[in-house]
Chain A
């Protein structure tokens, strides 16, 4: 025991917590949702961004998962709470909880899957129905590394994005193409939107450090179910 207690670690400033964000100090917290049909790669996309990892063997998402990542953007520490849910989520409870307070969306389709592209419009409707008006959306065509199996061209994706007034990226979680750019762009446009709102409502400027912009107090349901 003595011997082992004399063993030493050499240095080690690597403060790596399991979920990669050890600090409580942040200027803003944004809740971001990744939506899209089943199996377009939402979970992989999140894992690539948050953990920088990819594996083609994975399980379907059931319920809600989220990861947290803190980034620096425009001199601000922004804590991202990125939510991932099942493409086929049927439970109202989960859907509403999921959309509540989201400030940004990554709407994803799979460039090798026509159906997922055709569903984009439905997802946009879903966003409009459930989310906050100012929520920012980026359209993402994932799996762009699979050129051989591609059925949705870049042009079609871009065209649809323009039509819907969304920003557009093609990405590959597998090859780590544009994953970071999507999040960075999304954070930027959320920040822009925010400063716009702040301009029009200066009372928000003095919000204390660490304010959670997503915490809209919700009225509790007071209907008695008896």
Chain B
């Protein structure tokens, strides 16, 4: 079969070559190419990220036929094309002719010697079997690594081998040992991330076979017909470089935007953006001005999201995530946490070691007091446990009418939501999973216990990570209860809380990103920040991958100097990804669409870093409006000199109140609804 495949491939090459030579003689020049460029797709239903690797080229195409000569610009186009790697698989099997018809292939007119090719196939196949790969990084390694993946896909047994096969790509060879180590650590470093992503890329065909939704097509676009093109440096590796400068990292994203504001995001997980920049910079049809509102002018900009040091919190980089050592050091023999502020601060900056979530989250969620002792907590646990198992008894005391209401408005909805919550998480995967029943019982009991909150769609999303970490049903219930009461963090399902959060966010924007504020004030009041609704409601769970989302949760729960850190996260997203809204003068629907397209495509670590920087920036402002005076009130001060900020009443500011600023001068307890 090997020989057959090789022959097939050669035939194909021949076809491609012939096509090329017998064509109209259109001169084409490939100015850029890169293998393993990733297009992410979100499986909407499992909310999981699907990686699709492909081959990206940019070529100039001189259009010599048809048009009248005269305008030089009309004579050539600049075509960007991305072809999924799996189309390479296709031309290895019997479908290759279809591929040719559908133009879904990468042909090669580079003369490939048959023996050489056989040799390549051979080594790849062998390496698959032996699980020891890495020796075949030949001169055209890009070709090899592409090919490699095709074969991996063909082989349904590759799953077991993929862990070591990551080293096959010559490009990553030098990082081998590091990658091997970090592949299993959740807090993976750059190499780990990179490898893991690629690994999951290889896993996609398995998923895809069960799920046709994620089918991915060839993409091509004339770069001269688009609205803008942006290069984002940084990718996942943002905080791996200790100086925060990003170093020589050339990974990141290429984002092209059609004139109709449709996006395509290409992820360069393994570098290569620098070469792309060189190519693009050499072309002269870009409008590189920052503020052009001319919709027909092409935008090209480079975004190296290295936050300058002045944008970062001055204490950035000083903290490590709270790990077992630090935790055990801070707990005394009675079980009391001695240094609450340090813990909170470390969590704020660096999060919690995943293995300690079960221990620390209950404190962050205010389920336990930091100063409580082991015995107190134990006593409380057993009391609460008893109380929990009595809750379901409420059901029996209901009248038929109440029972019917409860079924229709709570139970039936819970029943429908639970089986579609986080099922891609192994903890909830599979049929007849008891953890699903736990989740259902907790939600129903919560609605019984706290009828004024009941059940709102989205609660199951918030509960799932808690249950997954804490696992015990009754303990999870009480943590969930605490979490729902931390309405400063996640909104309880009440309009007033959401409105209050949006009012604060609007004020923060006015203060810290006035241009964006100006833009949204043109929309009807409630439409302006509609796009942040889900961010706030689910605390970014649907906007970032779980690992990053949980970091954000922890930063918010840390209540380090503020109960409103989630709003600074919103602000950071808008600051970093919202520029297009102004540049392209988007209306409210487009803004919503813009940000929903970005979800799961944003860099969570960068956002958190920016959010901390913004928080600091806010903290040192000499004057703040009264509408925001409670934002930094947190009741946990350890320094003697609290920073004094002048407070300016928003009533004196024309046009501010009418956009929802709530004056905080008259009643210091303005946020009654937000009391714990």
Please tell me if the beta carbons of A18 and B263 are within 8 angstroms of each other in the complex. yes
Minimum CB distance partner of B493 in chain A: A90
Please tell me if the beta carbons of A57 and B524 are within 8 angstroms of each other in the complex. no
Specify which of B100, B593, B662 lies most central, judged by the most chain A CB atoms within 10 Å of its CB. Answer: B593
Contacts across chains A and B counted by CB atoms under 8 Å: 227
Query: Which A residues lie within 8 Å of B264 (CB)?
Result: 17-18
Specify which of A11, A22, A81 lies most central, judged by the most chain B CB atoms within 10 Å of its CB. Answer: A11
From A12, A47, A61, A90, contact of B456 by CB (8 A): A90
Indicate whether A225 sits within 8 Å of B657 (C-beta atoms), given known contacts A8-B28, A12-B103, A94-B530: yes
Give, as a whole number of angstroms, the nearest-CB distance from B459 to chain A: 10
Query: Which A residues lie within 8 Å of B109 (CB)?
Result: 6-8
Query: Which B residues lie within 8 Å of A51 (CB)?
Result: 213
Give, as a whole number of angstroms, the nearest-CB distance from B17 to chain A: 9
Please tell me if the beta carbons of B524 and A5 are within 8 angstroms of each other in the complex. no
Please tell me if the beta carbons of B527 and A97 are within 8 angstroms of each other in the complex. yes
Distance, CA A17 to CA B537, complexed state (A): 30
* A residues 197-226 in Cβ contact with B at 8 Å: 215, 218-226
Please tell me if the beta carbons of A62 and B534 are within 8 angstroms of each other in the complex. yes
Does B352 belong to the interface (CB within 8 Å)? Answer: no
Minimum CB distance partner of A3 in chain B: B140
Please tell me if the beta carbons of B413 and A38 are within 8 angstroms of each other in the complex. yes
**Binding stretch for chain A, among B40-48, B62-70, B175-183, B545-553:** B40-48
Please tell me if the beta carbons of B218 and A223 are within 8 angstroms of each other in the complex. no
**Binding stretch for chain B, among A63-71, A127-135, A141-149, A180-188:** A63-71
From B83, B142, B214, B421, contact of A4 by CB (8 A): B142
Indicate whether A8 sits within 8 Å of B495 (C-beta atoms), given known contacts A62-B542, A64-B592: no
* A residues 3-58 in Cβ contact with B at 8 Å: 3-19, 21-24, 38-39, 43, 47, 51, 53-55, 57-58
Distance, CA A210 to CA B412, complexed state (A): 43
Please tell me if the beta carbons of B657 and A8 are within 8 angstroms of each other in the complex. no
Per-position binary interface string of chain B over residues 209-226, scored 1 when its CB falls under 8 Å from any chain A CB and 0 otherwise: 001111101111100000
Minimum CB distance partner of B592 in chain A: A64
Please tell me if the beta carbons of A66 and B592 are within 8 angstroms of each other in the complex. yes
Number of interface residues of B (CB under 8 A): 93
Does B327 belong to the interface (CB within 8 Å)? Answer: no
Please tell me if the beta carbons of B658 and A6 are within 8 angstroms of each other in the complex. no
Please tell me if the beta carbons of B412 and A115 are within 8 angstroms of each other in the complex. yes
Give, as a whole number of angstroms, the nearest-CB distance from A168 to chain B: 24
Query: Which B residues lie within 8 Å of A15 (CB)?
Result: 220-221
From B81, B213, B458, contact of A55 by CB (8 A): B213
Query: Which A residues lie within 8 Å of B292 (CB)?
Result: none
Distance, CA A23 to CA B221, complexed state (A): 12
Indicate whether A38 sits within 8 Å of B416 (C-beta atoms), given known contacts A15-B221, A17-B219, A53-B213: yes
Please tell me if the beta carbons of B218 and A16 are within 8 angstroms of each other in the complex. yes
Please tell me if the beta carbons of B658 and A4 are within 8 angstroms of each other in the complex. no
Please tell me if the beta carbons of B662 and A226 are within 8 angstroms of each other in the complex. yes
Per-position binary interface string of chain B over residues 364-394, scored 1 when its CB falls under 8 Å from any chain A CB and 0 otherwise: 0000000000000000000000000000000
Query: Which B residues lie within 8 Å of A107 (CB)?
Result: none
Does B165 belong to the interface (CB within 8 Å)? Answer: no
Indicate whether A38 sits within 8 Å of B417 (C-beta atoms), given known contacts A7-B33, A53-B213, A220-B524: yes
Distance, CA A97 to CA B46, complexed state (A): 27
**Binding stretch for chain A, among B148-156, B254-262, B569-577:** B254-262
Distance, CA A128 to CA B55, complexed state (A): 51
From A62, A92, A221, contact of B524 by CB (8 A): A221
Distance, CA A10 to CA B212, complexed state (A): 25
Query: Which B residues lie within 8 Å of A53 (CB)?
Result: 212-215
Does A126 belong to the interface (CB within 8 Å)? Answer: no
Please tell me if the beta carbons of A60 and B259 are within 8 angstroms of each other in the complex. no
Query: Which A residues lie within 8 Å of B215 (CB)?
Result: 53
Query: Which A residues lie within 8 Å of B103 (CB)?
Result: 9-14
Does A121 belong to the interface (CB within 8 Å)? Answer: no
A–B complex contacts, Cβ < 8 Å, 6 sampled: A3-B142, A13-B103, A19-B262, A59-B44, A93-B530, A115-B408
Excluding A24-B260, A59-B461, A115-B408, 8 further A-B contacts by CB distance (< 8 Å) are A16-B219, A22-B258, A38-B413, A53-B214, A60-B460, A64-B530, A81-B589, A90-B456
Residues in chain A within 8 A of chain B (CB atoms)? 1, 3-19, 21-24, 38-39, 43, 47, 51, 53-55, 57-66, 68, 81, 86-94, 96-97, 115, 215, 218-226
